[in-house]
Chain A
């Protein structure tokens, strides 16, 4: 079980949205994590590599800022099945780039722009996520 945290989740979501709005204001670009991360690799079609790298460094460093600001560690429960996690990582990486976006680019920015491509993508990855957990926990695991 995990606790239902509507208030913290809403505030955290609002911070994510604020980051996306400020990135659009500053750089004129959509805050899609899969798009930013996949363009850390060649071929490079533009000169934005340093900015992309800085954004990812910020993401990676965020738990340190959070711990320093709140005095609390970050709570996480990650599966220790390394094969499962590697397969999951491959699927998430390949699928998000193949589908032109992940939870942030399609799920947040795309929905906020009322994009029908993002609405479709978000519907599909949510449905696939629900179905996968159902099978993993209640068909195979149950």
Chain B
């Protein structure tokens, strides 16, 4: 059951990325190009997603527990540490270079553009490296 739900929600998330234009690196890079060919569309992606999540999360969290798991598992940290600056800074530079963040990179795989095929394995290697390094330091 959980596997089917996850599959369906991955599909829904991916279709959302495609419909919104977020899966197209050219659109992302134009959104980030304030001084040039600025395309503000992605502000509307963020707006739509945050609006639905803001309302939906409140409705869901009024429940005692989720449908398929014993309890809700939400991030509890509130501190701002160096990793919360360094990580997003590196991520933002990579995002601005390639136009992909993690979700859109996965939805681009099946189209098999050479740039995507270079990006995704490097991204996965970077993710794994960060996890291993983080777990050694903590």
State the A residues within 8 Å of B (CB): 1-31, 33-34, 37-41, 43, 50-52, 54-66, 69, 74-100, 102-104, 106-113, 115-117, 120-122, 124-134, 136-138
Q: Nearest Cβ distance between residue A50 and chain B, in whole angstroms?
A: 5
How many chain B residues sit at the interface, stated as a range, is 35 or more
Residue of A nearest to B1 (CB): A26
Q: Is the CB of A37 within 8 A of B106?
A: yes
Which residue of the partner chain B has the closest CB to A22?
B9
The chain B residue with its CB closest to the CB of A130 is B32
A-B CB proximity, top 7 nearest: A58-B10, A99-B87, A62-B14, A12-B20, A128-B92, A93-B126, A13-B48
Tell me whether B97 and A84 are in contact (CB under 8 A): yes
Residues of B within 8 A of A60 (CB): 10, 14, 106-107, 109-110
Interface mask (B51-78 → A, CB under 8 Å = 1, otherwise 0): 1111011011101011111111111011
Using a CB–CB cutoff of 8 Å, the interface residues on chain B facing chain A are 2-27, 29-30, 32-37, 39-42, 44-54, 56-57, 59-61, 63, 65-75, 77-80, 83-103, 105-111, 113-116, 118-131, 133-135
Q: Determine the chain B residues whose CB is within 8 A of the CB of A43 once the complex forms.
A: 135
Chain B interface helix/strand/loop/mixed: helix
Shortest CB–CB separation between residue B57 and chain A, in angstroms? 6
- The answer to whether A82 touches B97 (Cβ under 8 A) is no
Query: Could you tell me the distance between the alpha carbons of A10 and B40 in the complex, rounded to whole angstroms?
Result: 11
Contacts A19-B16, A107-B46 given; 19 further ones with Cβ under 8 A?
Answer: A2-B39, A8-B41, A12-B20, A13-B16, A17-B53, A22-B5, A24-B72, A55-B13, A56-B10, A62-B107, A90-B126, A92-B101, A93-B102, A99-B91, A104-B13, A112-B50, A121-B87, A132-B93, A134-B35
Scoring B5, B79, B80, B83 by chain A CB atoms within 10 A of each residue's CB, the highest score goes to B5
* CB-based contact B33/A16 at 8 Å: no
List the B side residues contacting A112 at CB < 8 Å.
Answer: 49-50, 53-54, 57
Q: Verify A90–B94 contact, CB threshold 8 A.
A: yes
